[in-house]
A and B are shown apart, each in its own frame.
Chain A
Amino acid sequence: MMKRLLLIALLVLALSSTVIAQQTYNEAPALAEKVAAGELPPVEERLPPEPLVIEPVEQVGEYGGTWRMLDQNNELGFTLMTTGVEGFLKWNRDASGFRPNVLESWEWNDDATEVTVHFREGIRWSDGEPLTVDDYLFWWNDMVLDETVPLDPASGTVVGGELMTLEKIDDYTLKFTFAAPNPLFLEAHSRGPWNSSQSLVPEHYMRQFHPRYNSEVTDTTELMNRYNTSTRLHYPDMPTIGPWMVTNYVPDQLATFTRNPYYWKVDTEGNQLPYIDNIQVEIASGPVPEQVALKAIAGELDMQVRDVALQDVPLILENAEAGNYRVIMWDRGDFAWPWLMLMYDLADDGLEDLMYTQEFRQALSVAINRDRINEVTALGLATPRQFSMLPQAEEFQSPEGQALYEEWANSYIEYDPEQAASLLDSIGVVDTDGDGFRERPDGTPLELVVTTFPDNPKVDQTLELLQQDWQAVGIKTALNLMTWDEYTTANQAGEVQIFAWPSAAGWGLLSAPTVWAPIEGVQWSMAGMNIGQYYQTGGAEGVPPREGSMLERLQEAYSRAVSATTAEERNAALLAAYRIHIDEGPITIGTIGQHPSPVVVRNNFRNVPETGLVASWDLGYPGTADPEQFFFDQE
């Protein structure tokens, strides 16, 4: 009885405390003043009935302060990653999975072809207008489907060659229907500052720029400028659902932001977020990392996530005390920088044969002195590793997943020029004419050309070392630079032998799966665009991988993984696919990866998590780390 009473009492207490929490919210002093002056409705009316509660990383914060940071150019990409990552879902802070965000809940049908999603009720744009499914439908109907608007359907919205269909159930409920199973749609549609973060546009505002709704508008330039992520932040009048909104933008110099009074998230004590009042973004031109370094050591940055050069870490760390900041080592989350993409559809058949020869690939891999690359290009702080997905990915979280990861990441990376030589000898790649370089098995000269994009000094340095390494085992190696267009054309023509893709990242099925299986005809498809194109078009275009080859099996394995409707099934399929990379590996070659990514954080700038993955913008850091709960400890 006593027990029961106690339980009831506790229950009542708990209930009443939630009720109280729901009814009274705190807000920033500046907003309270505006409320008092009648310029803003009270905080309870601005927040949704059930605001999203954000658990602070360290502690409940306090209001105030201006966050100073630097962005690399007028596209304000870094800034958008801070203020504009508000999609349907959001990555967990450690990127282990997704959590609800704009969507409060959703239901899939059994074969993963239909999903009904429920928008969080009461979210308001920063001008006070409510966010409804109509805002999303505006994007779909009036932008994507409108022929006059130069916008193609986003990835994931076309399945089996057919566009998804949308059905509005009510203001907050929407039903997606796909032609084939699309179980990862919501996750895939919630990556980074694009996808649903970009698609959720304020209809009431956007209409004035749409020719269909405003006869004075003749073209879609203005509309697109407000839609595109690279220009969106240039418009202070454009409403947002992010924690901060633009107040001023001076090209090449500065962008300033202030808190969104209608932001729809609170902390565990009912304080409306964000804590920080303003963001001040200086726009750099010229060599950004230099300015970051200089501003950092002078203590003029409160938190800087990107463009902190690894080489500057000693300098920045040595001045940390004087500058009153600390350096948190986040992870770039790259699997290779650079990544050596071997191409398997080559105009040069002899070379294609060699590429398909596992010993040749193994020789190339073990001939690379990865430690030296690490020392010279990354202060020894990166990890020498084979091409493999990141350890944080969901499929690696099981014991067998971890074991597989270890095996994969460490396969064929031991620097062993002698082994490389004997491997090459074993397949008949030997120096027959005595010029110091090996010939192909048929006796014709062998010269590998490694191509990359210009202006990435780290890649250039790496390739120069790589060239020395490969020449040392007798493989004549040339380096080549190509622009994007040249690369695309050459790749399709089978004229790129090995491409050194700069910093590469991928995430199982969610982010760029084509890096581990040739399934898309895109520039970053492993094995070559044509082979990916073949899979993507169901064999209509492109070039098939050789029959029975590991590439073909990778494509099959990918097919199994995407059609899996449960996580267990999917993870198992992924691990099976990765196994091919080990057994037949390396299929595509990694160098060094998982570079630490220094984050400069002012000492009193709190609630910054210890981990983050910044290389792929798909992961949306620091937006994923919930910058709205960052705060200045005023002491």
Chain B
Amino acid sequence: MTRYIVRRLLQFIPSMILIAFVGFVIMELPPGDYVSNYIRAQALAGNQDMVAQEAALRQQFGLDQPFLIRFANWTINLIRGDFGISLATRMPVSEIIGSKLGATVAVSLCVFILSWAIGIALGVYSATHQYSKTDNFLTTISFIGLGLPDFLIALAFLVLAWQLTGQVLTGLQSPEFIGKPFSIPLLLDFLKHLWIPVTAVVVTGMAWVMRVMRGNLLNELGKNYVTALRAKGVPERTVIWKHAFRNALHPLIGALSQTLAFLVNGFVITSVVLDLPTIQVTYLDATQAQDLFLAGTILTLIGFLVLLGTLVSDLLLAWLDPRIRFS
């Protein structure tokens, strides 16, 4: 087993280099680079001296080197654990990603746990009460949830919260708490901000989980073994949760590979709209500003998480399903 995991992990390396390469190429393709964008902004603001610094700046960032050399240098440093610097803030990429990871994971985890927990619970309920009024209601809700872009919900919540409380709940913390050590008021303040993005994304995420859960569970509940279990006198609760539910988990676990990546890069637009200090926004800004190393690292990280997610979901499926384990 360990050998299998190690082998799979080793297989990641070429894939990740390839992902990083493609990521770099994509950022390399548009005309201009970070420096020309930066210079333009400076010129438009009137900083004429900065315009004269263009070549010097490019040299400072190593952008004057050919693409392949730049990529090779970056890859070698990456393997050494040095992700390079962000061109925009001149800070080490690792530091930036590190500083974002906490908030990102906090939001994503809440979103993930809630949307899966609620989605699964409602999906199971819906499937076990098929065609009931509640089922119809939940089905309708889930369809609407699937159709609503989460950023619209987030915006609506934001404005609603302002109209009701007079507070603007952008970001994840009130400014007075940013960068402060942990305390109870800080946690409360955090939670006060957290609900908007979490609810907005959960509404749509949950809908998907619920649809999948309901569909699969219905499918499973129609299978012979369920009738056989009932005929055996197994209590309904056990039939559903121990047997049918576990069988119905397959596609959800299969989706884990994307889910892990979603944790760091889902709900981009919601993050932008709500100004969340998450890695999503960093990635978007970095892509648009052609902040090469920052965007490249995040893309590679996401690719890694997708690969990792695939591995995890494969392992989980094998653990769950003897048919896979023994084949």
Residues 33-61 of B, flagged 1 when their CB comes within 8 A of A and 0 if not, give 00011111001111111111100110110
Are A251's CB and B89's CB within 8 A?
yes
Judged by a CB distance under 8 angstroms, whether A298 is at the interface is yes
| Residues in B lying within 8 Å of A, measured CB to CB | 30-32, 36-40, 43-53, 56-57, 59-60, 88-91, 96, 99-100, 158, 162, 166-168, 170-171, 173, 175-176, 178-179, 272-273, 275, 277, 281-282, 285
16 A-B pairs in the complex with CB atoms less than 8 angstroms apart: A73-B285, A152-B49, A192-B47, A195-B49, A225-B90, A252-B282, A253-B179, A254-B175, A282-B175, A286-B272, A286-B273, A453-B40, A484-B32, A484-B39, A512-B46, A523-B43
Find chain A residues with CB under 8 A from B170 CB: 291, 294-295
Among A234, A298, A322, A484, residue most surrounded by chain B Cβ atoms (within 10 Å): A484
Q: Which of B38, B45, B51, B173 has most chain A Cβ within 10 Å?
A: B45
Mask, A591-631, CB within 8 Å of B = 1, is 00000000000000000000000001110000000000000
Asked whether A194 is an interface residue with its Cβ less than 8 Å from the other chain, the reply is yes
With a cutoff of 8 Å between Cβ atoms, the chain B residues found around residue A252 in the complex are 100, 277, 281-282
**Interface 1/0s, chain A 551-594, versus B by CB < 8 A?**
00000000000000000000000000000000000000000000
Which residue on chain B has the smallest CB distance to residue A487?
B40
Task: From known contacts A251-B99, A617-B46, infer whether A280 and B53 are also in contact, taking CB-CB under 8 Å.
Answer: no
Contact (Cβ within 8 A) B281 A280: no
Q: State A512–B88 Cα separation when bound (angstroms).
A: 26
Mark out the residues of chain A between 373 and 394 whose CB falls within 8 Å of any chain B CB in the assembled complex: none
Is A503 in contact with chain B by the CB < 8 A criterion? Answer: yes
Q: Which residues of A contact B167 (CB under 8 A)?
A: 298
Q: Which of A239-261 contact B (CB under 8 A)?
A: 248, 250-254
Which of A74, A154, A485, A616 contacts B32, CB < 8 Å?
A485
Is A224 engaged at the interface, CB distance under 8 Å to the other chain? Answer: yes
Is there contact, CB below 8 Å, between B168 and A295?
yes
Which residues does chain B contribute within 8 Å of A298, judged by CB atoms?
Answer: 162, 166-168
Specify which chain B residues have a CB less than 8 angstroms from the CB of A485 in the assembled complex.
Answer: 31-32, 36
**Are A150 and B59 neighbours in the complex by a CB distance under 8 Å?**
yes
B40 touches A484 (CB 8 A): yes
Closest 9 CB pairs of A and B: A150-B56, A484-B40, A286-B272, A485-B32, A254-B178, A298-B168, A484-B36, A483-B32, A617-B45
Kindly identify which residue among A230, A231, A253 contacts B178, using a CB–CB cutoff of 8 Å: A253
In the complex, the answer to whether A74 meets B89 with C-beta atoms within 8 Å is yes
Minimum CB–CB distance for B84 against chain A, Å: 12
1/0 contact string of A333-347 vs chain B (CB within 8 Å)? 000000000000000
A322 to B271, CA, bound (A): 28
Chain B hits for A231, CB < 8 A = 89-90
The reply to whether B91 and A251 form a contact with Cβ atoms under 8 Å apart is: yes
A616 CA to B47 CA in the complex, in Å? 9
Query: A285's contact among B51, B168, B275, by CB below 8 Å, is which?
Result: B275
- Which chain B residue lies CB-closest to A229? B47
Once A285-B285, A617-B47 are accepted as A-B contacts, the answer to whether A297 and B162 lie under 8 Å apart by CB is yes
A18 within 8 A of B: no
With A250-B178, A254-B175, A294-B158 given, is the CB distance from A486 to B56 under 8 Å?
A: no
Question: Is residue A424 within 8 Å, beta carbon to beta carbon, of the partner chain?
Answer: no
A427 an interface residue at 8 Å Cβ cutoff?
no
CB atoms of A505 and B46 under 8 A apart = yes
Q: Are B36 and A483 in contact (CB under 8 A)?
A: yes
With CB as the reference atom, state the residue of chain B lying closest to A249: B179
From residue A193, how far is it (CB to closest CB) to chain B in Å? 8
Instruction: Indicate if A524 sits at the interface (CB-CB under 8 A).
Output: yes
